[in-house]
Structure 1
């Protein structure tokens, strides 16, 4: 089996953009290819969720092959709701491990801000089981995770203040990230008093509507690049009434178990973590499911500062989805860009002596979860 490494990264600024989805994808792709030294590309894999309904554009892989002048190489698009980018990266990793290709360009993107919010929400809800009564009676993703937050607070004694601490931490990280959507200062008081979206989740507890793209070049290489040392993926039910425990996302735990086993590592081997904080509550659950803190104690870890620099595990040093932004198809790749930069020593909010990094990407309400582990060159 071959050594697989990320040799190039590229990313647009997240937020509101005048660029088309095609232009965003091309910008990130060109940056990554230049960063990798312009290698010969054997295939392109695109992560995207709503190119059709929102941007009226599909066949994204073929478009990129043509625009980048790469001849007749194969391309494909993967869709897994908010995990579309992570799935695209995993497909590239597995194909490279198998020896099918030597170099794959993986790019994810979304164009969302040009459409009215109600239409965006309607498109996002395609990630639910629309034949279930839950969807037909109006359940939304904020509604689902609001229920999750209330149940977690009831079970373990967390409060809305703990959710605000997650949002506050991630905003402070985003302020130092030039590519993040939100860079303005805020306060815990402002977060706690913000407009309610769905009890107990306020405006700052919910990831925004965003445009943007991110790309990585992944190669079979002997030495250079940040090595990909594990890839785990698992699925879960998309229907709330089938969830055994609303304070858990089992697919994340399972994907993490796979990754730790492949890498022969444990949570305490990880130096920096990018995880899927589509809502502030999901960050608290994820740090538990990934094994960094005992179940029911994630909120206490946040309160103690254990997910900041100097704590047990710095989490979402990019600003996370909450403040870096969440252009859905780009998110899983953008997480990897941040981890690669951390291990290169060039990241915003650089973690000192970071040698092993993790990226965790979630789709739907836990329908998909992916966990990737990375190791610094020479580590």
Structure 2
């Protein structure tokens, strides 16, 4: 009778816990990065040895399907142990549901130990608390073909004036200075020019405090048009991969996230000898810090995950130096942990620069803009690239979408 009663009590505790009493050793890591499966798996030997946990990647390639599954898991018993997401308004939307695990303690300890950046922390903060940890961080810099630079007699610029002088020399040498595209990444030059001119205006756009028709924004579009008119930009409609254009020397420079190193590796381009990178100088030389765009994707858990303690234990381990060294080097990208040294010395230098007092990080436009505004902006920038003279009309169209969004999200 006692044995039966004991079994009933145990069964009841398990049922009430929703599976939370299960002590897991393998955590299913749901993600929207199906191609990253081998990178996730490379961490398992170290994590099993250090914390007794491994991950099992479950990758999606269709973003809407993935987001629907994660949001549905908030209401069903089919819950992920870990999952990837996006910062900005998308993180805020799920954090306010009360379903996402609070990681404030991990962030406080990580910032104190130097494993996490205080600049990045605010992008994981909702109503004074932190949620999730960085899955990855990439800094937006300029990649350039070293052979093309040498043949044209130009060097890495240290000011915007130098960069424009280099562009003129490269054009005279028969090389298109800069890459641009109207496919998804049409926002890149808008982001760079505005951040380098007026970073406060850049941030105010993302919160609805400024308008796309404000004089400062119009001026940036005029400057962008001016660079196109001078022949400094590639054909935005060219579907050729930017890595291939850079390798061939058809374009001299490509502004991109440090994850672009993976593309360069696949093209057999060697960092330091075939290509280099530099921090893009501010347009406005009077700014006290260099503005650098960065992107970061969260790795999250749920408050009612199958084994909440195991999931949080993994997130805490994830931000540490051992995990991040393996993770960043496997993808040939920088780490969210400023203490990690890359196998690529240039990436280590960029990490130090990005986390120094002379640099200020700003969230990439793709995540900073609310989704409905982003959609209108990508359409508007694409239309501008097809006909640069329509820049004012495109800004007005984007502002209409912004007005509608912010009227409902005060």
Category of TM-score, reference length = shorter chain: under 0.3
Structure with the greater alpha carbon radius of gyration: 2
Which of the two has greater helix per residue? 2
Normalised TM-score (structure 2): 0.26
